[in-house]
Amino acid sequence: MKILANDGISSEGKVALENAGYTVITDKVEQVDLIEAVNKENYEIVLVRSATTVRKEVIDACPGLKLIGRGGVGMDNIDVDYAREKGLTVINTPASSSQSVAELVLGNMFAISRFLPDSFKNMECGDFNSMKKKYAKGVELRGKTLGIIGFGRIGQSLASYALAIGMKVRALDIYVPDCEIELAEIQGVGKIKVPMKVEKDLNALLPACDYISIHLPKQADGRAVITATEFALMKKGVRIVNAARGGVIDEADLLTALDSGIVAAAAIDVYDNEPNPRKEILCHANIACTPHIGAATLEAQDRIGLELANLIITQFGKFN
């Protein structure tokens, strides 16, 4: 079987598939040429990350397609239900990137607590003494309350990190029940499990949080989860991170909340209009921006590639 890994695949994943008899092509095909390439080259499997979309028109125009794979968690760039109605298999890798996204979020929480993004921008050309004064009101994470909205694998991984550094964690998810969070093994102590109550009332959670991290998929109706209504409930000076999906936070309302002081700082990895985010977000002094790199670690990409390979081999078997 021929596989087009259009947004790339780790060498480990590629080798695993090739050892099982699959032909794996990693040459990038532009979106406008995808249908032609799939049909011309007789690709039966297309693997994507976030750059390539596989919509109804691609599915209809490529009758030889058997499987669509997403290297990552969210599948909003694939018409999943339609594909499955047409008999295609659709897979993703929800377990592989949880740790990487959680670490990016935690790193951003440290960064926006100490003005690091703005400081990095200005150190080369700014006045040292005035900047020292400007950035002198940082805050510590230990003892602060982190609200995690969406408590699946990534939210739970973030909770394990936050608990380990002494934060108080409150979790919200309408589907996930109360659970235990297992911290990474601590030298000389072993593993520690922390019971976690998972809340259901967003309005009750928001006023208690010093930090908020969003871990929800893009909503089916396209509406933002955090808008001016939710910002109005938050503690003044809250810090927010979104490494989930663009559109989960209303960007215009976020800018207003930042300028009013309700939000002290934000870190954003995902945007409404990727790959061309709005300039007001990119240029704001109190927003730390990254270009959708939540899962972009070497370790996560290795895990994603191997997970995709294992799922494909399980589905179709070996050809050698």
Residues with a known catalytic role: 245, 274, 292
H or E element that contains 4: strand 2-5
| Sole residue written with tokens 């870190």 | 267
Task: Please report, to the nearest 10 degrees, the dihedral formed by the alpha carbons of residues 223, 228, 231, 232 taken in order.
Answer: -140
Tell me the CB-side half-sphere exposure of residue 299, using CA atoms within 13 A.
Answer: 8
Question: Exposed, middle or buried by CB within 10 Å (0-12, 13-18, 19+), for 279?
Answer: exposed
**Three-class SS of residue 69?**
strand
Cβ contacts of 82 within 8 Å, gap of 6 or more: 56, 59
Helix axes 298-316, 98-113, angle to 10 degrees: 160
The C-alpha atoms of residue 147 and residue 149 are separated, in whole angstroms, by 6
**Residues 238 and 211: beta-carbon distance below 8 Å:** yes
DSSP state of 15: H
